[in-house]
């Protein structure tokens, strides 16, 4: 399931020179250093590639987080209390939300917030079928901005936010604090259950973003393939290299696409020169210490609660109390 980092729209056959993707790609190519938001990875091909990444032996975050959630679901249910209303930021993974719903006492409402209505409709239908007593209420919107949610139900319990997968690591620290501030307003008086990948041996991180099957490389290169499909671009994919490395000072994985030779590329009818070795920066994936993540949450007005980790300290799941007012 895609992490729904406010994904772009699905594939389109015709070039759409006026789209947000077009504007952001042209801006990225015109600026130095060249850099574009990772949200453009997630067209339908990119979302499928991301699902495949989550299954890779080297990509530990998904299965580690599922293991932690399986272990802590009972405690989370206690903290949440009866008749909780769950707000998931992104349409998310059905498996992860089911782990919580199965442990909770009479969960009252589930509100996934995602920019892609199609994505939401699919998961909502499956959950309605399996949890007949649950009010499944998808909300189409950009969860990094203030979204309008239905008023709390009469007699309902606490509002609990859910933001798994360490998608918070794909934001800049400033964007992360902004997201948490927005989430804090939505969850007022409730709490947020947040998944965050941890700082660790760089070799483990390196392998996770440079898998031997080349799926992460295909995921990165799909950005150029998407530009070819949607923007009438002419990126020759075999002339670009996937480059991912851990930058310890910033505690982040950086992903880039590096030009294998001097070349010219046309995007939306405009020409751009790339020197050999010149790069387009496509993603940051920040890693956190437990204290660092808690400090970030406090900056946005949350009060840190319990934290759960796996035995190898690869990944963390945080209970964060939202501001009261
Ligand atoms: C969605 N996000 C948390 C993933 C990550 O690990 O930063 C995206 C990803 N990029 C390469 N592999 C996975």
Q: Dump pLDDT digits (tens) for 255-309.
A: 999 999 999 999 999 999 999 999 999 999 999 999 999 999 999 999 999 999 9
% of the chain surpassing 70 pLDDT? 95
Task: Give the span between the Cα atoms of 30 and 156, in whole angstroms.
Answer: 51
Q: Is the minimum distance from the CB of 3 to ligand 1 under 6 angstroms?
A: yes
Task: Give the span between the Cα atoms of 157 and 159, in whole angstroms.
Answer: 7
Q: Is the minimum distance from the CB of 285 to ligand 1 under 6 angstroms?
A: yes
Q: Is the minimum distance from the CB of 40 to ligand 1 under 6 angstroms?
A: no
pLDDT computed for residue 9 by the predictor: 39
Instruction: Walk me through the domains of the chain, giving residue ranges and CATH numbers.
Output: 18-139+156-228+288-325 (3.40.50.150)
From the CA of 2, give the closest atom in ligand 1.
1
Task: Give the span between the Cα atoms of 224 and 257, in whole angstroms.
Answer: 9
Helix axes of 290-299 and 173-186: crossing angle, nearest 10 degrees: 60
pTM: 0.94
- Is the pLDDT confidence value at 175 over 80? yes
Could you tell me the pLDDT band of residue 123, with boundaries at 50, 70 and 90? confident
DSSP string, 44-80: HHHHHHHHHHHT-SS-HHHHHHHHHHHHHHHHHHHHH
Q: What separation in Å is there between the alpha carbon of 59 and the centre of ligand 1?
A: 9
CB atoms within 10 A of CB 136: 18
Q: Is the minimum distance from the CB of 46 to ligand 1 under 6 angstroms?
A: no
The pLDDT tens digits of the residues spanning 65-87 come to 999 999 999 999 999 999 999 99
**Mutate-to-test residue for ligand 1 from 209, 216, 243, 288, highest number of ligand atoms within 8 A of CB:** 209
Q: Whose CA is nearest to atom 6 of ligand 1?
A: 285
**Mutate-to-test residue for ligand 1 from 36, 52, 53, highest number of ligand atoms within 8 A of CB:** 53
Could you tell me the pLDDT band of residue 8, with boundaries at 50, 70 and 90? very low
Identify whether the C-beta of residue 225 lies closer than 8 Å to the C-beta of residue 237.
yes
pLDDT computed for residue 3 by the predictor: 66
Q: Is the minimum distance from the CB of 92 to ligand 1 under 6 angstroms?
A: no
Q: Which residues pair with 273 in a beta bridge?
A: 264
Q: Whose CA is nearest to atom 4 of ligand 1?
A: 167
Residue 282 neighbours by CB under 8 Å, 6+ apart: 35, 36, 38, 41, 220, 223, 255, 256, 257
Helix, strand or coil for residue 160?
A: strand
Of 62-71, 134-143, 201-210, which gets the smallest average pLDDT? 134-143
Of 126-135, 198-207, 210-219, which gets the smallest average pLDDT? 126-135
Q: What separation in Å is there between the alpha carbon of 315 and the centre of ligand 1?
A: 13
| Mean pLDDT calculated for residue range 31-37 | 97
């Amino acid at each position: 399931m895609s992490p729904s980092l406010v994904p772009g729209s699905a594939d389109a056959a015709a070039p759409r020179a006026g789209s947000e993707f077009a504007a952001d790609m042209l801006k990225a190519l015109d600026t130095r250093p060249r850099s574009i938001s990772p949200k453009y990875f997630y067209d339908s091909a990119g979302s499928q590639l991301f699902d495949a990444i989550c299954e890779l032996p080297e990509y530990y975050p998904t299965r580690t987080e599922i293991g932690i959630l399986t272990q802590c679901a009972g405690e989370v249910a206690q903290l949440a209390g009866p008749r909780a209303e769950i707000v998931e930021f992104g349409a998310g993974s059905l498996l992860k939300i089911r782990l919580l719903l199965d442990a909770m006492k009479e969960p009252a409402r589930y509100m996934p917030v995602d920019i892609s209505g199609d994505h939401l409709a699919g998961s909502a239908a499956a959950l309605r079928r399996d949890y007949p007593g649950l009010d499944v209420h998808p909300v189409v919107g950009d969860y990094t901005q203030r979204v309008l949610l239905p008023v709390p139900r009469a007699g309902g319990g606490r509002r609990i936010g859910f933001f798994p997968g360490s998608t918070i690591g794909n934001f800049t620290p400033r964007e992360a604090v902004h997201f948490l501030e927005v989430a804090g307003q939505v969850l007022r008086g409730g709490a947020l259950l947040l998944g965050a990948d941890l700082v660790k041996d760089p070799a483990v991180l390196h392998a996770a973003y440079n898998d031997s099957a080349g799926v992460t490389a295909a995921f990165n290169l799909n950005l150029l393939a998407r530009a070819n499909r949607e923007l009438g671009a002419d990126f020759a994919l075999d002339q670009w290299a996937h480059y991912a490395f851990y930058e310890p000072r910033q505690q982040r994985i950086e992903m880039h696409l590096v030009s294998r030779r001097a070349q010219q590329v046309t995007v939306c009818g405009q020409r751009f020169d790339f020197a050999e070795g010149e790069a387009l920066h496509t993603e940051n994936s920040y890693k956190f210490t437990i204290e660092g993540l808690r400090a970030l949450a406090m900056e946005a007005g949350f009060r840190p609660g319990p934290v759960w980790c796996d035995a190898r300290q690869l990944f963390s799941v945080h209970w964060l109390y939202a501001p009261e007012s």
